[in-house]
Amino acid sequence: MSKTTKSPLTLAKVTLLIADQALPRYSHRFSPQKFTLPQLLAILVLKKFFKTDYRGIMIILQDSPTLTKTLHLKSLPHYTTIQKAAGRILTFSGAMELLYTTAENALKRNKKIKWAAIDSTGLESGHISPYFLERRYNGKVPHRNKRLTRWPKLAVIADTHTHVILTAMPTYGPSSDNGHFQKALERLPEGLSIGTLLADAGYDSEKNHILANEQYGIKTVIPPKIGCPGKSLPKKYYRRQMAVNFDQDSYRHRPQVETVFSMIKRNLGDALGGRTEETRNSEMLLMTITHNLMILLFVFKELFYRATIEN
């Protein structure tokens, strides 16, 4: 498992460095220009790091003069300023550009990935405790559809060696994993080359094999076990190849994408505070950006020294 930084000071320094590469200094030339976009992004990243809300992160900054100094803040913004900045910075295109920048730095600008894995995970859309749900149903295990009818779902493609997230796709469940396979491939960083893409049986589809192999030149390894497979071999070419000559040596790297989700949920939590679909999508993308920033220092030492020297 990749290491993650536990230092908010170090995380703030690196976020400023990365944000300077991907963001303009101000959103508009006629803006008040009291706070830069990199500073506002760093506060958003710290908010997710501390698993708090907008008011909470402002209290933490107020009580942490060293952290405030690290962010080069002469004064503290109002919490509504941070909330509005999230809407401007974490648009889908803006967040993806930030994610690509973190991935590019974390991979030392290496454009060739030997093994990558795709998967999705469900997140909580609130902060209801499992104990409350259990008491609500008098200790009985409720039917899943009674407990959750729709939930946020985060799909990612991650490098299995470094646990760096290459691209992310916020969506909602319950839904088939096949629904976001094509969109995830379309949103890979430009110029990135993946040798083998690994996925579990939820992505088993001849269409997915054809798309990855013939359009993107990516070898796929997916168990041909969708639905209730019989004893006979699949009729389609790629699925038949999976059944006859399955690349088990490569597939053993697939569980590393589960490790990525474990790291995100342990370090950043699994509950989203947003009230609307748009804000929840932004928060899911912020999770992936923060995750990459937290492991970036350990796979790209040069950035750590730059952060230390420049601050």
Give the whole-angstrom CA distance, residue 40 versus residue 228: 50
Task: Write out pLDDT tens, residues 28-37.
Answer: 877 788 999 9
Judged against a pLDDT cut of 60, whether residue 142 lies above it is answered with no
**What value does the mean pLDDT of the chain take?**
87
- Name the more confident of 132 and 266: 266
| pTM score, whole prediction | 0.88
pLDDT of residue 310: 56
CA 111 to chain CA centroid, Å, is 19
Cα distances (Å, whole numbers) of residue 304 to 11, 49, 295, 301, 309: 10, 18, 11, 5, 9
Q: What residues contact residue 105 under an 8 Å CB cut-off, 6+ apart?
A: 18, 21, 296, 300, 303
Q: Where in the chain is the domain with CATH 3.30.420?
A: 95-268
Average pLDDT over residues 186-198: 92
Region at 191 (left for phi over 0; alpha for psi -120 to 50; beta for the rest) = left
Q: Decide if 48 contacts 12 (C-beta within 8 A).
A: no
Tokens matching residue 172: 């909602």
Task: Write out pLDDT tens, residues 95-125.
Answer: 999 999 999 888 876 788 999 999 999 998 8
Topology of 95-268 in CATH? Nucleotidyltransferase; domain 5 (3.30.420)
